[in-house]
């Protein structure tokens, strides 16, 4: 059972562990546009209301929050960040296509 600290940015979810020196060592950086989360589990994980699953092509794992309220808060924050990142990427792609059409 490793303990990780999560850092949510506008385009990436980073998780890290605290080293013996007291600094954080990054374990993985997961781009949000490929990230999915769910709290639907079976078996032992279903017995707690504080677990959710992070799925990404690079890494997939279960997260246990300290309590259900924290889990809900993190899930909402991650889902909102994913949505905003997807909207931003769609706007950028739209601008790129419009620019390419004007240059022709």
Q: Tens digit of pLDDT for each residue in 48-89?
A: 688 899 999 999 999 988 888 899 999 999 999 999 999 998
**Cα within 13 Å of Cα(66), Cβ side:** 5
Place of tokens 């013996």: 20
pTM of the model: 0.78
Question: Measured between alpha carbons, how far is 66 from 20 in angstroms, rounded to an integer?
Answer: 22
Question: Measured between alpha carbons, how far is 56 from 41 in angstroms, rounded to an integer?
Answer: 17
């Amino acid at each position: 059972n490793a303990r990780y600290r999560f850092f949510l940015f506008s385009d990436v979810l980073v998780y890290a562990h605290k080293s013996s020196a007291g600094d954080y060592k990054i374990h993985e950086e997961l781009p949000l546009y490929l990230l999915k989360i769910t709290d639907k589990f079976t078996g032992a994980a279903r017995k707690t209301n504080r677990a959710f699953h992070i799925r990404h092509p690079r890494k997939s794992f279960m997260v246990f929050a300290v309590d259900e309220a924290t889990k809900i808060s993190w899930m909402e924050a991650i889902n909102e960040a994913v949505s905003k990142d997807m909207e931003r990427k769609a706007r950028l792609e739209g601008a790129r296509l419009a620019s390419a059409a004007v240059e022709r």
